[in-house]
């Protein structure tokens, strides 16, 4: 019998974002490259627990980035 699957942490867990999540993220951080923000968000989550609701968590990250930095 094979061993049970092992979690490799949030870097390797499949976190899927919907098209609506990307659209909300674009609205939250106008002018920003959403895919670059997604890369930064996933990198930031490396040592954190995976969010229960990844879409809203990603949008909140984008909103915070925009508040701190404004338009790129």
pLDDT tens-digit map of 15-42: 899 999 999 999 999 999 999 999 999 9
Model's pTM, two decimal places?
0.80
* 71 in Cβ contact with 31 (< 8 Å): yes
What are the Cα distances from residue 15, in Å, to 6, 19, 25, 35, 70?
A: 16, 13, 16, 14, 27
Query: Are 57 and 51 contacting, i.e. CB atoms less than 8 angstroms apart?
Result: yes
Q: What is the pLDDT of residues 40-55, one digit of tens each?
A: 999 999 888 889 999 9
């Amino acid at each position: 019998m094979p061993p049970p699957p092992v979690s490799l942490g949030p870097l390797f867990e499949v976190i899927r974002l919907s098209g609506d999540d990307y659209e909300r993220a674009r609205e939250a951080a106008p002018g920003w490259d959403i895919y670059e923000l997604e890369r930064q968000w996933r990198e930031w989550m490396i040592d954190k627990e995976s969010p229960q609701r990844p879409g809203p968590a990603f949008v909140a990250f984008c909103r915070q980035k925009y508040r701190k930095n404004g338009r790129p």
